[in-house]
Structure 1
Amino acid sequence: MLLENLKQMKESYWLNDHLSSDVKEELNSKGITYEDIEDARDRLDRFAPLLKILFPATLKTNGIIESPLQCINTFKEKLEILEGVKINGDVFIKLDSHLPISGSIKARGGIYEVLKHAEDLLFQNKLLKIEDDYSKILTFKEFLSQYKIAVGSTGNLGLSIGIMSAKLGFKVSVHMSNDAKEWKKQMLKEHGCEVITYESDYGKAVEEGRKSSQNDPFCYFIDDENSKNLFLGYSVAAKRLKGQLQTLDIIIGDERPLYVYLPCGVGGGPGGISYGLKSEFGKNVKCFFAEPTHSPCMMLGLYTKKHDLISVNDIGLDNKTAADGLAVGRASKLVGKILENVIDGCFSVSDENMYKYLTLMHKIENIDLEPSALAGVKGLVFNKELNNIHPNAIHLIWATGGNMVPPKEMQKFIQEGEKYLG
């Protein structure tokens, strides 16, 4: 039934029926440990003095790239009326849409991998030691300009990697799919990045980016489909979120579980964050991936257990959606394999509903987001039965991008949503 619904582009909901009974043991068996996450967190801390100089927007967080957490219970009340459901517990939004530097969730993994690559090069050439003040890296831009970074992207990953790489002195090539927004391409060019556009989708952009670096020892390809470093950069978000919740006197436990709804493209961002959350909260966090009805690649891969061996095109879908950051036809093998017994479920949402929720969020909370960032809202509707089991749960919508969208583009999004709000 699920496969048939996916083929017909119906909004669908899948609960994972092969969850591991021991989350910690399952995570430890995947070759990525809690110590790896802590190592990534320490690395970002080391780079904080440099980031404060390069990006003044990070001054208020002392060089740490982190986003606000905001309660949106007024939005919840309007959503209950709109969808005819009762949502128990408080609803929050994690505003990765407003992260410094590139204004999307990709600022976590993408920027982290660029920083790690720079650190590796400087360590190898004995220009930097771990105990140094990393602001000295500013003096090595000429050295780093010998090296290139390449990436394939639908938009936001390219932005985060392009902006960060260019600031450090790297030469950057961003290979972009046909659904990438023109303003994102223009912004990359303004930062001195080479932008190469393909008429095909995300998979082709990644493939060509990978090819471009294969025979160039000075070129480093950031692989959105298979990168452990991207994954670890995202995972750091979990402990920081735990601290934000504790600041609000919210302690996650048996009586107050955490439900998290994460927009999903190839899977690296939501996968890394889910891995970190499961490491922090164990069985008391439930993580759900949200995908467009035209591109439910992760749900398809997990449900069939074929992961990257099946594409949405194989079931007759076109992989065309307004949620450009989620327009991915084939899921990450790395993420699928790591989370196949850990992720709690997936659901799909129509473009129309993403636009509708976007306009509602704008009107009620004065928060402007990209369509992709609203995909998680549908989880509040689908999870109405689970709501009754945990009436004190905390629900968290993870917003993936938005604050760098040009005002004219945002106005078009809002007007589109008006059509569906009625």
Structure 2
Amino acid sequence: MKLAEDKSREVFHDHTIQVGSTGNLGISIGIISVVFGYRTVVHMSADAKEWKKELLRGHGVIVVEYEGDYAEAVRKGREQSKLDSRSYFVDDENSRSLFMGYATAALGIQEQLQEAKIQVDREHPLFVYLPCGIGGAPGGITFGLKQIFGDQVHCFFVEPKQAPCMLSGLLTGLHSQISVQDLGLTGKTQADGLAVGRASGFVGKTMEHFISGVLTVDDEKLCPAIQMCYETEGIFMEPSAGSAIWGPVRLFSEEEGREYLKKIGCSMEGSTHMIWATGGRLVPNGVRKQLLN
């Protein structure tokens, strides 16, 4: 692979990749950028877990920490990147390219459903529950799924009760112009990847046409969810991903959910429900035990 050869790495070494993150985006961008030889800087908020910072530093990534939240890390990272003509900032808040990159995940889902012989049509609707922070990943995935399955896929975002930034933006129509702190919420949550006070305005405006709904989850329900999944399926996930487990529970058990199902008028007997459970494989064993206990 040409890009991984020494000649390419020598060129990349004179350039910098930067990103603002509470964790998983920083891990993915950080590690792959170092592999290609870039000088790599990840700007992380106070909500980011210590083991994620240590993992990045172990790969040679420069980690810059901030006392503020995700918004501050992104803002400062963007400002620092602009000062260097050879620096590129991976902007989860406003990047159309990153958004479309997330959307390609839908092609993988389509392939896996076909391999499993799972139909998606009016008699066999697909319901997808996605953890939501600033909105880039769940928004892009939803956009991609809608291009493939149209009205036969129903996508719900799941957010922590103290950090429902996408819900706040959608309900008010203010999108990035309102923060959860404006509503008296803390923006703090054990689901560090979802600890975002202000949603992406670009994603929020786009999702007005595609999203089926947004659900919120109490923090104390996150660890029981990941414990249940680990004990029954042998799959470990982070608290952020565990939030999505409550998606179908809320949809079927609460009045608003039942009203939605009645409105769309499709059969639940043949429906498929998918939890978008990214995150978990890199969590150190000691941290896993703490969360499961």
User: Counterpart of 1:154?
Assistant: 22
User: Counterpart of 2:242?
Assistant: 374
Unaligned runs of 5+ in 2: 253-257
| SS in structure 2 at match of 1:404 | coil
Which amino acid in 2 is paired with 1:394? T
TM superposition shift of 1:138: 4.9
Query: 1:405 is matched with which residue: 276, 283, 288?
Result: 283
| SS in structure 1 at match of 2:129 | strand
In 2, Cα distance between equivalents of 1:136 and 1:224: 25
In 2, Cα distance between equivalents of 1:146 and 1:329: 34
User: Counterpart of 2:255?
Assistant: none
- CA 1:139–1:274: 2 relative to 1, 3 Å: same
Alignment check: 8 A CA contact 1:349 1:378 kept? yes
Matched, 1:248 2:116: yes
Once the two structures are aligned, what percentage of the paired residues are identical?
A: 48
Which amino acid in 2 is paired with 1:346? V
Which amino acid in 1 is paired with 2:66? Y
User: Counterpart of 1:122?
Assistant: none
User: Counterpart of 2:156?
Assistant: 288
TM superposition shift of 1:215: 2.0
In 2, Cα distance between equivalents of 1:203 and 1:166: 24
User: Counterpart of 1:218?
Assistant: 86
Which amino acid in 2 is paired with 1:410? R
Which amino acid in 2 is paired with 1:228? R
Matched, 1:192 2:60: yes
In 2, Cα distance between equivalents of 1:239 and 1:157: 20
Alignment check: 8 A CA contact 2:43 2:66 kept? yes
TM superposition shift of 1:137: 4.8
In 2, Cα distance between equivalents of 1:255 and 1:391: 8
Which amino acid in 2 is paired with 1:406? P
Alignment check: 8 A CA contact 2:9 2:37 kept? yes
In 1, Cα distance between equivalents of 2:81 and 2:34: 17
Which amino acid in 2 is paired with 1:146? D
In 1, Cα distance between equivalents of 2:20 and 2:155: 26
In 2, Cα distance between equivalents of 1:390 and 1:354: 26
Structure 1 runs, 4 residues or longer, greater than 3 Å off: 134-139
| SS in structure 2 at match of 1:383 | helix
User: Counterpart of 1:71?
Assistant: none
- CA offset digits 1:143-182 (Å, max 9, x no partner): 1101001111101111111100000010011110001011
Considering only CA atoms, is the larger Rg found in Structure 1 or Structure 2? 1
Query: 1:305 is matched with which residue: 156, 167, 173?
Result: 173
Query: 1:337 is matched with which residue: 205, 214, 217?
Result: 205
Matched, 1:356 2:224: yes
TM superposition shift of 1:139: 3.2
Query: 2:100 is matched with which residue: 216, 232, 235?
Result: 232
In 1, Cα distance between equivalents of 2:74 and 2:166: 17
TM superposition shift of 1:366: 1.2
Alignment check: 8 A CA contact 1:150 1:213 kept? yes
In 1, Cα distance between equivalents of 2:146 and 2:222: 27
User: Counterpart of 1:267?
Assistant: 135
| SS in structure 1 at match of 2:123 | coil
TM superposition shift of 1:249: 1.1
TM-score, normalised to structure 2, is 0.94
TM-score, normalised to structure 1, is 0.66
| SS in structure 2 at match of 1:157 | helix
Which structure 2 residues correspond to residues 75-94 of structure 1 after superposition, within 5 A? none
TM superposition shift of 1:400: 1.8
Alignment check: 8 A CA contact 2:4 2:36 kept? no
Kindly tell me the number of residue pairs found equivalent between the two proteins.
Answer: 283
